[in-house]
Structures are given as C-alpha cells and as structure tokens.
Structure 1
Amino acid sequence: MALVDLGDSPPRVESDNRRPRSDSESITMTSAQEVQILLRFLSQDAKVPLAQAMAKVKDLREDKLITPMEIAKSDLHHLTTLFGDEKLARQVLNAAKRVSKKRLSSDVSTSSAVPSPPAKRAKPSYGIAMDPASYEASLALPELHLDLDVLKEAVVYTNRAPLVLAFAVTLLKYTMPEQPLSSRLSLAQAVCSANSQSKAKYIGLQAGKTAEEEGWGEGQPVITVMGRDIRVMKRWGYEWKGTDSQDDFQSTQGTVTADSEDTQPREVKPTLLRIMTDETIVQDPSEIAQAQQQPALWGVDLEALKRSNGPVAPGDRNNSTTQLPIYKPEPTRAYLLKAFESQSDKTVATNTKKKKLSEQREHNLGLLLVALEHLYGSWAATLSSEDLNKRAWNWYAKVRPEVKQGAAGWGGKGNVPLADILDLRKPTS
C-alpha cells in the first residue's frame, strides 16, 4: 500500500473527467475539513475500510471530489482509475448518489416547511472546538522554576507507563520542536501504548497478534521515538504556530546545524531530520528551516483502527467510525497530571484533602519535567536528534521504578528519585 499523505501536493494535469465546481457547490473549506468530510463519507456511507479510505483521500482531493455530490457527478470509469477496483468504485459511486439524493430531498422538504430555529453548531467528531492557539494553551503542562538542590531532594512515586510518557513528551521538544504540544502528547501516548502492548505479550498477559502485527498500520508514515517505531497521521491544515513554537525552533536550529556538520559530512549521506520518513530527508543542514513547515502529527491508534472495521455491537456503530483512530492529547495530559504521587500520599477522606493531593501530584509532574529538561538540555548541544532519541530509552531504563518480575509487577509502583535523572546529565568539564 502506498504511503499515505493526507495533505496537499503540487497540482497535476487535469484529466477530461475533472470538473470545476458549480457556484452552488462552491464552499470554502480548510484542508482539515475536506479530509474529515471525505473520511466520514468513505468509511460510514460507502463502507470503505478506514485504512483504504485514508489512502484515497489525497487522490480524491486532487480531483476536487470532496463532497458526496461531487463524487456522484463523476463517472464509474474515472472512479475505477482512482480506486483501482471497479467493484469498490461502483460501491463508492452508488453511496454518493444515495447520500446526494437524500440531501436533495431533505433540502426540498425543509424549504417548503416553516423555517426552524438555527441548530446549535455541532462539535467536530475529533480535533478542536476552539482556535488552535487556545487549544494548545489548554493542554499546558506544569512549569516550575526551581534550584537544582530542590530537585535533587525530590522523589516521585509512580508506575512505569506515565514515566515513559513524561520521558517521551519532553524528548519530542528537542527532537521534533516543530510539533505542537497536542502532537507531542499524542505521539508520546503512541510510544507508551506500543511499549505496553509489547510488554503485555512478553509476560503473557496478552495473546494473539497486535493490530500492528496484523498489518493495520500499513500505509501510514512511521517515525521513531525512544527507539520505537510508531504510525502517524499528518494534520495538514492545522495552523497553530505562535511565538513560543517559533522561539523553541530557533533555539534548537543552531544546535542541529552544528551537530550535522560535526558528526555527518555532507558528501557522505543526507541528514535525517526529526521526522524519519522518506519524504522528509533533508539533503543539507541549510535546509533545516524547511522542517518548520512540516505538518503537525497525530499518533495513530492502530487498535482503534482495527476495531472500527471489525464487528460493531448494536448501539456502538456511531462511536466506531465517527472519530479518527488517533491518540487524543487530552486523556494523556489528564493521566500525567494525576500519575505522580509523593511518598507520603495516603488514603484521602475529604474533598479538601483530595484537592490538595491533586495539586501535589501536578506539582510532582512539574518537578519531573524540570529534571527531564535538565537532562535533555545538557546533551542537546552535543548529540544529534537521532542520537538523543536512541539514548532516551536507556536513560529511562536506568531510573524507572523497581517492580516485581513478570505479570506480578504489571502496573506496580515505585520511587523515582529525581537525583538519579539529574545524574545522567552530560558531565561538565
């Protein structure tokens, strides 16, 4: 299956079958909206498997076949060329005609009836219900400014999964600084989930093949985070960049350039910059600015993708295909905020104590993130993004909490002294 790129590409020569939209159909839509409309129609109405639908979005958008009405006015031969399968093309065409006919009938009946009050604007089935800048701000993680002496004395009590999340989220600030926080949280959760699945199989808690092993990720781009390959989806059309993101990028730009020149001669091989896919190989460090134009990413939840095309229980159909199979940042953030306890945490009886406990756990997360910033920051000027990625897992393994072996230790908690993380910093000479 070809690599999926859900975004815009250079225009190609129009075939005779391409048709400009009529005035009545002309709708101003963002790239993200077009992708949503197409995926919803193909997966729900035309019953095309979601993975296959994703692979055809780009071609349909290039041919300006976005809405069911536009697809219905196409012809079978042209759709067969696009889908590579006459049976599937006929299935899509019939679905488009059926949906278009229903909508026309609905429009006629509505126009002849008494005007109804305007409907409330529905929230999108996935994504954002606010402007991107506000959305990113709503996902902010605790930021603390503390002396190293204070950090060295701190100890957090947690299990391994949220510690992996914290390591990955902070790592991505240095290896993929062009990614917004929403993407970093999503990608970190993809890493954590893949690691948990692998561990569950290893200790015998999970049998059978994973969705990845069954090929559900085939066709999606791949990036490597903490040494683990994860499938991603490009968020074309998501314009989130603000002052903070550009400052972060500029702060690492010189470092990456210097690393490339010191460790990798230009004439030997290209520099792999941040997103490890064929389409983002940067041939020269002078092209680093181009990486800033890379789209934001979602981590793809392959198990959700598999479920969306599997058996659907009565009453669950609406939930199975109306949302894209991605790791959403909000649950990941919520998990991080409550995952890091103090050694003194005990059973809580009152609401006041619960509030204080919640605040303490958020504070502990802030302590951990500061320690990780010190760790990654100490090496960022020396190691390339690729090398930093490779070392991150080893650093995590050295400080993760001790738990029982095998299934008995699944979900087990332990102490993580932040001094152990700080000891991994690059030695100062």
Structure 2
Amino acid sequence: MAGQEDLQELLRMFTSRKVPMMAAMGHVKALQKEGLRSIEQLSKAALKTIEAAVGDAKLAKNLHTACKKHETTKKRALDDDDDASALASSPPAKKAKLLQPHKRDLDYVSMTADELETSLTLPLVEDEATIRETTVVTNRAPLLLAFAVELLRFTMPEQPPSSRLSLAQAVVSANSKAKARNLGIGQAADDDNQIPEGQPTVRVLGRDVPVLKRGDYTWTSDEKTEVVKVTTPAAETTTTSTGASETTRTWSAGQRLTSKSSTFVAHAATLTSPAQRPALMRQLMTSKPSLETATHNAWAMRARYGTSPLVQEASFDDGETGCGEFMLRAMREADVSDTVVVLSRWFGGVMLGPDRWRLMRECVDDALSCRNKTTVKLAGEAVWALDPSSKEMAIHRPEGARNYLLRSFVSGAEGGKKTSKSDDVDCLGRLLGALRLLFASWAGVLNRTQLDSRAWSWYMAIRPEVEAGPAGWGAKGPVRLARICDLARRGEGG
C-alpha cells in the first residue's frame, strides 16, 4: 500500500512539472533502480544521484527542491499536531474555533482518510423556517462553490467531501478565468491546452473537469449511505453519456509546449486503413481551425494489413525538416501501429537547434500516451481535480476551498455592521442547508445528468445582482435564502 502511494506521489511530482506520463514512468523506474522510491528518500539523496538517474539537470534540481520542500511541510504539520495535542490536554480557556487548516497544515500522506475528511467538515443548518428568514451577502464565486459542493453530494455520492471540495473549486476556477477573459481583465492564455484532451474528466455544472484518481483511497462515513437518493435511471444516464463522449472523440492531443516563442502540439488518432488518413486530417483541421495557422503541420502514419505482420509507413515534413521520419522512429520504438500523428509548429522566429528534437519527441510521446486515456467512469474511486496553473501540486486542494466558503458569507440583516466569525459560519450553514433542501427535493425525480444541468439554471436565478462589465467583478450583493427554498419541489399535496 505504502509503495503504491509513493509511486503515485512520484508520478504526480513529475506530471505536475509538465513531464508526459510515459516519460515520468521512465524517470521513476530509473530512480527506483538507484534505490530512490519515495519523496522522503529523494529529499535526502544527493543531487548528482538524481541527475544521473533522470538525465536532465534542470528537472533533477527542480524535483530535488520540491521534495525537500514537501518534507519540510510534513515536519511542520507534525510539529503543529504535537502543539495541538498539548493544548488539548490543558483546560480550554475559550470556545474552540472551527478548524480552518491552511494548505501547509494538511499532509495527505500522514493523515488517515477519516482524519482528512473530518478536518474538512462544513457547518449545516437544516431548519427551513430559520433558513427562510436569512439573507446573506456574498459575491458570485463562493456562491457557485457552495452550489457545486452540495450538488456533488447528490450527483457523485461516492466521492468523499475532500474530493467534492476539490472538484467544486476546479469549476469555480475555470468559470472565473473564462469570465475574466470575456471582460478583458484576465490573461489570454489558453489554459485548456495545458491538460491533454485525453485526460480523464468528470462533468460538473456543465464543465468537464480533468481528474486524477486517488488510488486505493477509502473513507467511512454515515453520509455515504444517507446521500444515495438519486433514482436508478440516473446511473444509467450518466454511464450512457460518458460512453457517448468516448466514441465521438477521434483525436487525442498532447500538451502544448513553447520554447523561444515557438509552440509545438501533437495530435494522434487511430485508423483501420491507410486510406482513412486524409479524411481524419480534414476532420482535425475542421474541428480545430487554429491548426491551419501553424507554420508546419507534419504527419506520420503506421498501419497494418489485417493480421499481417507487415506495416505500411508514410510521413510528410511540411517544411519541418526531418520531422516525419523522426515521428515514425518514435512510433516504431513505442511499437505503435494503426495510428496517425500530426505535429503542428508555430515558428517563433528563433532557431531552436537540438532542443527542437526534444520538444517534438515530448509532444509525440504525450499524444500517443493520451490515446489510452478515456473519460473516467467512476465506480467508487475517489478523485482529485487537476489544477493546470499549479506547479507545486497539480490538484485543487480542498482545504483552500473550505476556508474560502467559511469566510465568504455574512448576514445581510445587520445593516453593514461587522459580523463575527461564528455568525459567518452560521450563514454558510444556512446556505448549505437551503441548497441541500433544494437538491434533495429533486434528486428522486431528476437523474444525475438532469440535476447537474438544472443546478446551473438555479444558480443563475439566485446569484447576486452586480453591475455589468469589469465594474461588477468581485462585487457583492444580497442573496435571500427563501428564494432557494422556493425552488424546491413540493410533494403531491404541497
């Protein structure tokens, strides 16, 4: 078990630094041969040993520094636990504060699953009369976060609270970035291209969220049996829609790499006959018109004749000298056939020298590895939502999302007076109670896909009104919880 966790942590260290999965697995094997099987061992190892195993001085130094930082964080968390134990043994002088762990305080490896989930508990008020009397003041992002967290309790009940917080934060982050770009106040970078298209995803509030399975993570809670209220057809509909997305995806894309203003990206597709290549490439260019603007669109193809061991090969450089044959060699080494790969390059005006081959190889390897990834079918496995903007740990951490919720809702009945933290927590509990009442009332009628779709329209209906354009960015407004309760489905006689 520990060995499997160490392997996953090492792979995550590499992939969070934009190393393709196939290359990351090779690096991990090389490190294991040197007796380096965990982050702790890497943090104590000599840098030269890591460089010799990885074969990349820059990557080795980056990895070594990250492992040392990880171990320092782990020790700090253990020291904090000792301090907490000492405080717990003394009589409490004040009312205990609601636990608000900073991301430095939680070390997922040292905590048991139940300890982690307990530390992420959120307040809840279920009395409808109390909820209806409440008005909270907030901005749109934390309200969307609360919507997503409670929605996932019904659409993905198999996910532990930590995973729901992670997934919900991913939705809010993607929504905020898209909104900022639309308003002209965000970066124009194409964040979607930082994650390969073949990465496993789940759908939350109409957005596809890239995820990473958490291995053998298991948790125990009364909530698991309490929340499975969605009708049986929901599971069938979810599986069907997931399968449909798999069959319609033809091309898989690797990561987009940039060096000295030159950008590379590779796409791979499976074919059953060499004659399919022209049609497949036309489909790719039609679905992604931006590829037509590339300086070069080189391609390589390897296809078998039925059960014959013979393989037909063909390639085209499109002005990128040697690229076609280079891709064929990479496909031979990976023993890949019945596949066509298209490598696109936008030339930045600066010659790259030998580094050009490294970039092309990483793009091709990543695109080929993505062919084996499909939209994830959850069968009880816990997941993390991937965060492409994070360089330290490429996941959306749940404690950050929880803390954001705890501090983002204040009472609207105090006439602008400053409220205490306990009042803010109570406001959050009432909001979550209203959302749970809403989703529970519809869970037995709508399947999971329908509930996810309907939830977005409910959010749009009750979100605070703010000024249009950049002036309204981050602005707060009142939200009457009675409006959420009014959206709940009443019984036959209600």
TM exceeds 0.5? yes
Query: Percent identity among equivalent residues?
Result: 37
Kindly state the Cα deviation for residue 138 of structure 1 after the two structures are TM-superposed: 0.6
Change (3 A) 1:226 1:91: farther
Q: Which amino acid aligns with 1:143?
A: L
**2:389 is the alignment partner of 1:410:** no
1:247 to 225, 233, 244: 225
Q: What secondary structure sits across from 2:131 in the alignment? A: helix
Q: Which amino acid aligns with 1:51?
A: K
1:257 to 218, 225, 232: 232
In angstroms, what is the RMSD of aligned CA positions?
3.5
Change (3 A) 1:33 1:411: same
Q: Which amino acid aligns with 1:142?
A: P
CA distance in 2, matches of 1:120, 1:208: 39
Kindly state the Cα deviation for residue 408 of structure 1 after the two structures are TM-superposed: 0.4
Match of 2:123 in 1: 142
Q: Which amino acid aligns with 1:298?
A: W
Equivalences for residues 20-419 of structure 1 within 5 A:
29-40=2-13, 42=14, 50-56=17-23, 67=32, 69=34, 93-94=54-55, 127-146=108-127, 148-212=128-192, 214-240=193-219, 242-248=220-226, 251-252=228-229, 255-259=230-234, 271-272=240-241, 278=374, 280=376, 291-293=378-380, 295-304=381-390, 308=391, 323-343=392-412, 344=414, 346=416, 348=418, 357-419=420-482
Q: Which amino acid aligns with 1:332?
A: A
CA distance in 1, matches of 2:76, 2:481: 47
Show CA shifts across 1:123-177 (max 9, x none): 799634321101100100002231x222222111110000000000000000111
Kindly state the Cα deviation for residue 229 of structure 1 after the two structures are TM-superposed: 1.6
Kindly state the Cα deviation for residue 54 of structure 1 after the two structures are TM-superposed: 3.8
CA distance in 1, matches of 2:379, 2:222: 13
Consecutive aligned runs of 4 or more in structure 1 exceeding 4 Å deviation = 55-61, 90-93, 119-126, 258-261, 276-281
CA distance in 2, matches of 1:328, 1:70: 30
Show CA shifts across 1:264-286 (max 9, x none): 6xxxx953479x874655xxxxx
Q: What secondary structure sits across from 1:405 in the alignment? A: coil
Aligned residue-pair number = 312
Match of 1:85 in 2: none
Q: Which amino acid aligns with 1:299?
A: A
Unpaired runs of 5+ in structure 1?
Answer: 1-27, 44-48, 73-89, 104-118, 282-290, 309-322, 349-353
More strand by share: 2
Show CA shifts across 1:288-334 (max 9, x none): xxx553x2111111122xxx3xxxxxxxxxxxxxx321111111111
8 A Cα contact 1:35 1:57, kept in partner: no
Unpaired runs of 5+ in structure 2?
Answer: 38-50, 65-73, 79-103, 247-373
Show CA shifts across 1:240-277 (max 9, x none): 2x13243146x33xx4315467xx6xxxx953479x87
Kindly state the Cα deviation for residue 217 of structure 1 after the two structures are TM-superposed: 4.5
Match of 1:317 in 2: none
Q: What secondary structure sits across from 1:303 in the alignment? A: coil
Q: What secondary structure sits across from 2:137 in the alignment? A: strand
